[in-house]
């Protein structure tokens, strides 16, 4: 499907039909597969013969999603997992050993910070957090044992934009892989592998599904790296349910339409928020006032994405008032849905990280994150205005 346009790939890449000739992708609910003979079973298990074996690591519906996401991100291969976090876990377990080191950007998703800081450390993998947008800080943090540079751009929730090409150069000088969490942009807005990254990770729970229904994750990159990630998945089993894979396949079909519509609405909302009394600062890469606006426009296909964060005067009390005054917006930690959601990061998604780390990342008590959906922007504005007055 490489010669086809993105829109065509999003609808058709990876599709395989059974002998029944079904038009829509089939959902294979089976935990195992049968073999024609003992010899065939042995050949499948050893990998001598391609084909399905057992649903922890092979399932046709899951394969279709893997092939589609690999094409959309422009990668050789993809491994789909049960959630975004298990995708990140599979990447590090597949590529790192005790004694290795990770350089990561501040402002990573809270659970990613927990994974690097509290869990991997117990297994002898250290990490250093560097200010997300300071390229020289990545260079200074590199050690001979650095195997992975991990960034999230735009960052969650402050939408800081990291120059992927520049960080890729630093990672490669130091002999490390660069992994980009492309959850906020999706391949519609940003294709990190084309900018020099080695690996892309996704929480498919977000825009890839796009309708807040299921959890899923993906790791995409060169075959050599994905083979190691796959070995971890095959053995440890953080596999996606075929049902979830099927739902995400359907979600991906409308990915570009949703991403562009939600990004356009987010830009309108961000411009409006900048004018509101009581709003001290708006973080949105599509605004000219955003410190990395130019990089964002170059790297994100001209779009700012659909996440807008803003700081209100009056700290937590005022921020909670805005949240509690909404009547339509969903108060939930999820993002990337067709329904607009509102979150107070300091007490929810980023509540488990230390106060110092939170302050270093710039996540203060007055900060709110809005994931802009497909409702009319005027209705979102009315809902937010109530608490801002």
Question: In the complex, which residues of this chain contact ligand PLP (CB under 6 A)?
Answer: 83-85, 109, 111, 152, 156, 181, 183, 203, 205, 215, 217
Report CA-CA distances (Å) from 163 to 26, 48, 156, 287, 326: 40, 42, 16, 17, 35
Closer residue to ligand PLP (CB): 55 or 183: 183
Write a three-state SS string for the chain: CCCCCHHHHHHHCCCCCCCCCCCCCCCCCCCECCCCCHHHHHHHHHCCCCCCCECCCCCHHHHHHHHHHHHHHCCCEEEEECCHHHHHHHHHHHHCCCCCEEEEECCCCHHHHHHHHHHHHHHCCEEEEECCCCHHHHHHHCCCCEEEEEEECCCCCCCCCCCHHHHHHHHHHCCCEEEEECCCCHHHHCCHHHHCCCEEEEECCCCCCCCCCCCCEEEEECHHHHHHHHHHHHHHCCCCCHHHHHHHHHHHCCHHHHHHHHHHHHHHHHHHHHCCCCEEEEECCCCCCCCCHHHHHHHCCCCCCCEEEEEECCHHHHHHHHHHHCCCCEECCCCCCCCCEEECHHHCCCCCCCHHHHHHCCCCCCEEEEECCCCCHHHHHHHHHHHHC
In angstroms, what is the minimal distance from the CB of 81 to ligand PLP? 9
Closer residue to ligand PLP (CB): 84 or 387: 84
Closer residue to ligand PLP (CB): 115 or 125: 115
In angstroms, what is the minimal distance from the CB of 112 to ligand PLP? 6
Closer residue to ligand PLP (CB): 25 or 152: 152
In angstroms, what is the minimal distance from the CB of 382 to ligand PLP? 27
In angstroms, what is the minimal distance from the CB of 20 to ligand PLP? 32
In angstroms, what is the minimal distance from the CB of 82 to ligand PLP? 8
In angstroms, what is the minimal distance from the CB of 161 to ligand PLP? 14
Closer residue to ligand PLP (CB): 109 or 232: 109
In angstroms, what is the minimal distance from the CB of 310 to ligand PLP? 18
In angstroms, what is the minimal distance from the CB of 157 to ligand PLP? 9
Closer residue to ligand PLP (CB): 203 or 300: 203
In angstroms, what is the minimal distance from the CB of 110 to ligand PLP? 8
**Residue indicated by tokens 């790192």:** 96
State the residue number with the nearest CB to ligand PLP. Answer: 84
In angstroms, what is the minimal distance from the CB of 237 to ligand PLP? 16
Closer residue to ligand PLP (CB): 162 or 215: 215
> Quick one: 275 exposed, middle or buried, by C-beta within 10 A (0-12, 13-18, 19+)?
exposed
The answer to whether 325 and 386 have CB atoms below 8 angstroms apart is: yes
Closer residue to ligand PLP (CB): 49 or 348: 348
Closer residue to ligand PLP (CB): 67 or 152: 152
Q: Kindly state the tokens that stand for 54.
A: 């057992």
Reference 262, options 297, 299, 291, 304; nearest CA is 304
Closer residue to ligand PLP (CB): 217 or 242: 217
- What pairs with residue 198 in β-bridges? none
């Amino acid at each position: 499907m490489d010669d086809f346009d993105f829109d065509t790939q999003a609808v058709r890449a990876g599709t395989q039909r059974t002998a029944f000739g079904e038009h829509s992708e089939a959902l294979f609910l089976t935990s195992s597969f049968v073999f024609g003979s003992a010899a065939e079973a042995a050949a499948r298990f050893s990998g001598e013969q391609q084909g399905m074996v057992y649903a922890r690591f092979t399932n046709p519906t899951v394969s279709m999603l893997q092939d589609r996401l690999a094409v959309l991100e422009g990668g050789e291969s993809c491994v789909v997992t049960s959630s975004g976090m298990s995708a990140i876990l599979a990447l590090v377990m597949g590529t790192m050993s005790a004694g290795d080191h990770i350089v990561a950007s501040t402002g990573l998703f809270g659970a990613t910070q927990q994974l690097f800081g509290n869990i991997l450390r117990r297994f002898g993998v250290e990490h250093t957090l560097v200010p997300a947008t300071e390229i020289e800080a990545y260079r200074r943090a590199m050690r001979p044992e650095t195997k992975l540079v991990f960034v999230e751009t735009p960052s969650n929730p402050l939408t800081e934009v990291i120059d992927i090409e520049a960080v890729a150069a630093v990672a490669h000088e130091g002999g490390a892989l660069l992994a980009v969490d492309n959850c906020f942009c999706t391949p519609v807005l940003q294709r990190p592998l084309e900018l020099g990254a080695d690996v892309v990770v996704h929480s498919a729970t977000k825009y890839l599904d796009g309708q807040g229904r299921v959890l899923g994750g993906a790791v995409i990159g060169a075959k050599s790296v994905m083979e190691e990630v796959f070995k971890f998945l095959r053995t440890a089993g953080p596999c996606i349910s075929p049902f979830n894979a099927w739902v995400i396949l359907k979600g991906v079909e409308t990915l570009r339409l949703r991403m562009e519509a939600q990004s356009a609405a987010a830009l309108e909302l961000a411009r409006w928020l900048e004018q509101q009394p009581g709003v001290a600062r708006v973080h949105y890469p599509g605004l000219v006032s955003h410190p990395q606006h130019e990089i964002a426009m170059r790297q994100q296909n001209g779009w700012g994405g659909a996440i807008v964060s803003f700081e209100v005067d009056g700290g937590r009390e005022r921020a909670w008032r805005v949240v509690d005054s909404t009547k339509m917006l969903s108060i939930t930690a999820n993002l990337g849905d067709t329904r607009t959601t509102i979150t107070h990061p300091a007490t929810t998604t980023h509540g488990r990280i230390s106060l110092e780390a939170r302050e270093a990342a710039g996540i203060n008590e007055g900060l709110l994150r809005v994931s802009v959906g497909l409702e009319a922007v005027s209705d979102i504005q009315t809902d937010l205005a109530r608490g801002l007055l």
